[in-house]
Amino acid sequence: MPFVNARAGMLPPKIARSMVNLVPGESQGKLLVDPFCGSGRILVEASELGYKVAGLDTSASQVSGT
């Protein structure tokens, strides 16, 4: 589970899952890259659906908690 920082906010899991579900086609084995991943909520949801995931963020404090 991603690190939760209440001050920074976090995308609710239900919304993150809905966003991942917008990607067309089969998810198994596809690579999903999130260039502004923050705490990684979208990456967690994508991984649970079978995607290979990679995330980047300019905020070291956001990424270090994941």
Domain ranges in the chain are: 28-66
* 5 has pLDDT over 70: no
* pTM more than 0.85: no
Taking all residues of the chain, what is their mean pLDDT, rounded to a whole number?
A: 86
Q: What does 6-53 look like in DSSP terms, one character per residue?
A: TTT----HHHHHHHHHTS-S--TT-EEEETT-TT-HHHHHHHHTT-EE
pLDDT of residue 66: 64
